[in-house]
Structure 1
């Protein structure tokens, strides 16, 4: 059974994936695990990688939300720029 050797389980470094790539890989893992035809040890490996992918996606979403929230609006309510995320003004 070679189904577990998809892109979701490949050695691709999660840090180098785009959000979209990580999400597709995570969805692939979920589908494999939901099918229930993956051996136990492989399921555990897939689950571990899936958790890392989930955390990476969540981190990217949190970062994007923080950036959006840092948009500085002028007195007329129109965005005038952004503020640094590190707490600087």
Structure 2
């Protein structure tokens, strides 16, 4: 997809779609996010969680990586992005 096309669609979102969701986005800013569903999916560009589920802004907390991989638990102090995302989703 050419960059110009992507930028044009972003402009259309701001002018056409964003106004429809303005109050919902403002609520997410004011009250913070409290998604009801953790969605672990592949980072494949053909997978679009919001289209697949019909979810709206603030409903899904997304973890996306190659192969939708969830590593086994490791109690070390290393960097564990997927574990941190799961912890946030459960605690929020």
Give the TM-score category using the shorter length.
Answer: under 0.3
Which structure has greater helix proportion? 1
Please, what TM-score do these two structures have when normalized by structure 1? 0.23
Q: Which protein shows a greater Rg?
A: 1
Which structure has greater strand proportion? 2
